[in-house]
Structure 1
């Protein structure tokens, strides 16, 4: 997707992120481009990462299962 087409995306943060500002925002664009986009919530005009939905779902499942807990 180009930058202009990304302006219509709905971005959201996890309800666990709080107000610290150290979080990311996610936009589900599967209906438009078969992708899930991620950006830094402190730099909304900065770089945007793109992931295939299956890869992002696997990551979320790993996080929920505690796979990245230290």
Structure 2
């Protein structure tokens, strides 16, 4: 799937030239993540320094669990 028209977002805390990721929410599509074909929407994450590189896809429940872990400090 061509992700060039996807609206990617970056954190407001991101600095120019920093190590950042970008996030986008797209309709569920087997072409993006065939193993998650039953999801209505997917959260995509990519490296902002490599916009043509791979994107990871998460279902809404996976994304919610990840965000909750970040807020709880599980990755510090």
Instruction: Return the TM-score normalized by structure 2.
Output: 0.74
Q: Which of 42, 45, 52 is the matching residue for 1:38?
A: 45
Shift of 1:66: 1.2
Do structure 1's residue 68 and structure 2's residue 65 form an aligned pair?
Answer: no
More helix by share: 1
Where does residue 64 of structure 2 map in the other structure?
A: 57
Gaps of 5+ in 1: none
Shift, 1:64, TM fit: 1.2
Two-structure CA RMSD over aligned residues (Å): 1.3
Q: Which has the higher contact order (CA 8 A, sep 6+)?
A: 2
Hey, which bits of structure 1, 4+ residues long, moved more than 3 A? none
In structure 2, what is the equivalent of residue 19 of structure 1?
Answer: 16
CA distance in 1, matches of 2:16, 2:55: 21
TM-score (norm 1): 0.79
Instruction: Name the CA distance, whole Å, in 2 between partners of 1:56 and 1:20.
Output: 26
